[in-house]
Amino acid sequence: MYFMRVFNQVLTLFLIIIIGYIGRKFRVLDGKIIKGLTGLMVNITLPALLINSINQDFSPELLAGGIKMLLISIGVYGISLIIALLAPYFLRTKNREDLGVYQFMIMLSNVGFMGIPVLSAIFGEGVLFYVGIYNLPFNFVAFSIGLMMLNQGNMNGKFNPRLFLSPAVVSILVGLILFAFNIKLPEAIDGTLTLVGDTTIPLSMLVIGGMLAEVKMKETWSNWRIYIVSLIRLIILPLLVYLILKPFADNLYVLAIPVMVTAMPAASFVSVLADQYGGNAILGSQGVFISTLFSVITIPLLALLFV
């Protein structure tokens, strides 16, 4: 019963992805629209969702839980980094551009576009406070170690430290300030943030579908390394995190959030960053497609761990 409920929630999100995919194929959504929707979501709707979710009544217990979640997040990224660095040994590829993309996909999951909507659908909006805190190290990892992986250690002077201050990170910091000082927003502003933030979930799924519509399917299905990376990304890493944290978890969120965020498919912007920093952008899109497709089954199965 629980499996079907979670499966239907995840399937609903995936069907929106299909709508985006079809829309792109039939040119209802073109490249400019997808780019515009991405900008709208990243710069407006997702920050609104995060501010609204973090802006809760202050309590020492909530603060302590947030700090614990941040420390766990740092530890999980450390584990993911170690496994990503071992990739050359089990993927057996000498192509450095491809290797960097594989490592990036192993280390970073789709937290913003997929993780937040899925976790909200499974556990309710109450989970988003901790997800926001857990997400804080993501940009630091993506735009430092992640970019070095994509460019194999040579940044070519392109790196911009301001990338750390993405709208998502700024919105989380704003939400934390409101939380720490117990500042209550006026009802009209709170209502606006709620309505705007609620559009993030369908928008993110449509954007993913539109992006995946440009993937070359024949090449995608024939690349065995993508299946290995997807296996690590969707099953091996989350189970490893589960086994490590299980003895120390004192509540559901402390265990469920790290495991389920780790269980998300490959970060959807890997192809964009790969294109900018010398990696294989097409391979990145293929990896996102395969891992997103398989996650429709793996996410509900892993959610059974928290019944």
Which pLDDT score, from 0 to 100, does residue 102 have?
93
Which pLDDT score, from 0 to 100, does residue 276 have?
66
DSSP at 266: B
DSSP of 199-252: THHHHHHHHHHHHHTTS-HHHHHT-HHHHHHHHIIIIIHHHHHHHHHGGG--SH
Task: List, in sequence order, every residue forming a beta bridge with 109; answer none if it has no partner.
Answer: 266
* CATH number of domain containing 44: 1.20.1530.20
Q: pTM of the predicted model, to two decimals?
A: 0.81
For the stretch 236-249, pLDDT in tens is 999 999 999 999 88
Q: Mean pLDDT check: name the lowest of 125-129, 221-225, 252-256.
A: 125-129
- pLDDT confidence bin for 157, thresholds 50/70/90: very low
Identify which of 15-19, 73-77, 125-129, 179-183 has the greatest average pLDDT: 73-77
Answer whether residue 253 is part of any domain: yes
For the stretch 259-301, pLDDT in tens is 999 999 998 778 777 766 667 878 888 888 899 889 988 998 8
What is d(CA 136, CA 138) in angstroms, rounded to the nearest whole number? Answer: 6
Domains of the chain: total: 1
What is d(CA 253, CA 131) in angstroms, rounded to the nearest whole number? Answer: 9
Phi, psi of 266 (to 5 degrees): -60, 145
**What is the domain range of residue 112?**
2-302
Answer whether residue 307 is part of any domain: no
Answer whether residue 114 is part of any domain: yes
**DSSP reduced 3-state for 182:** coil
Answer whether residue 78 is part of any domain: yes
For the stretch 47-74, pLDDT in tens is 898 888 777 778 888 888 889 999 999 9
For the cut 70, the answer to whether the pLDDT of residue 154 exceeds it is no
For the cut 80, the answer to whether the pLDDT of residue 94 exceeds it is no
Q: Do you know the residue count of the chain?
A: 307
Q: Mean pLDDT score of the chain, rounded to an integer?
A: 85
Q: Pick the more confident residue, 144 or 100.
A: 100
